[in-house]
Amino acid sequence: MFLDCERNSSSFFCDFAKSAMTYVRAHMKFFFNNKFTMQSCLPDDNRTVTPVLTQVHSNNVVVTRVTGLLLPEEVMYVNDAASHHGFDQSVVVGTDGESVIHSARTSRTAYLPKGDDPVLDCISARMATIASHPVAHLEPLQVTRYTHGQQYTTHSDLLGGDGGGTERTTTLFTYLDSDGLEGGMCGGATAFPYLTDAATGEVVRVYPHAGDAVMWSNRTLSGAANHYADHSGEPLTCHDVSKAGINAWFRDGPWE
């Protein structure tokens, strides 16, 4: 029997079929386009952002490029907020879990406290949506800036027991400055030395573009440390270029 839902619009079957189709369309849009549309975080700004998620690599670690995560004015806002908070020499986690200055990491870092600034909190919430983690699990954002010659050599973001009971499961690194680095002639990539690009046979590299991000999980599906996710911030090899990014680290429990 054929039921014409245009004419029998009030039947239970037609209502059910229509809501099922709406649900399927909404979810297909997400699964096949990987797109969300979200409001600008800036005051009195009615623009939206529609970040696009593209898988850069899938073997051993899923590395995802997030194009258009921040509007150019949001990028400026975070850069200004970081300058306002002030930059210090970046640190690494030492052998006893303490923060130490180390030649492996030569950039400078500013810490942006949580809950102090509605624009930064809104950006954090957007990042949590993209990373599919509760925003309560996000550490305070850290902005890292590099100039000529600066780098962070290959490392894991996992804390290995030094995280006060929780672990950094997911990293979302959002580029805030990519001046002179696009095109790949002056270094500055986020590189994954244990992952090979199937097309080029080279190490997987994501080049900075302000407003975009790169995201990956630091654990395997079974929850073990995934050292294929070890990565570096490659040195900036030209003068007069600069790079900055926000480290958004999501823990496997609330951050406090």
Ligand X SMILES: O=C(O)CCC(=O)C(=O)O
Is residue 231 a contact residue for ligand X (CB under 6 A)? yes
Q: CA torsion angle for 24, 27, 31, 34 (degrees, to 10)?
A: 140
Is residue 211 a contact residue for ligand X (CB under 6 A)? no
Positive or negative: CA dihedral 83, 89, 92, 97: negative
Is residue 218 a contact residue for ligand X (CB under 6 A)? no
Is residue 51 a contact residue for ligand X (CB under 6 A)? no
Residue 126, both tokens:
């957007």
CA dist., res. 15 & res. 2, Å (int): 15
Task: Name the burial class of residue 203, with classes exposed (0-12), middle (13-18) and buried (19+) by CB atoms within 10 angstroms of its CB.
Answer: middle
CA dist., res. 91 & res. 255, Å (int): 19
Minimum CB separation from ligand X for residue 141, in Å?
12
Is residue 247 a contact residue for ligand X (CB under 6 A)? yes
Question: In this structure, are residues 66 and 34 in contact, taking their beta carbons and an 8 Å threshold?
Answer: no
Is residue 242 a contact residue for ligand X (CB under 6 A)? no
Minimum CB separation from ligand X for residue 245, in Å?
6
DSSP designation for 137: G
Kindly tell me which of 77 and 207 has the beta carbon lying closer to ligand X.
207
Is residue 190 a contact residue for ligand X (CB under 6 A)? yes
Is residue 205 a contact residue for ligand X (CB under 6 A)? no
Minimum CB separation from ligand X for residue 34, in Å?
22
User: Could you say which of 158, 233, 242, 251 contacts ligand X (CB under 6 A)?
Assistant: 233
User: Which is nearest to 146 in space by CA: 116, 180, 112?
Assistant: 180
| Site residues (CB under 6 A) for ligand X, limited to 152-171 | 152, 157
Minimum CB separation from ligand X for residue 28, in Å?
33
Contact residues for ligand X, defined by CB under 6 A: 144, 152, 157, 173, 190, 231, 233, 245, 247
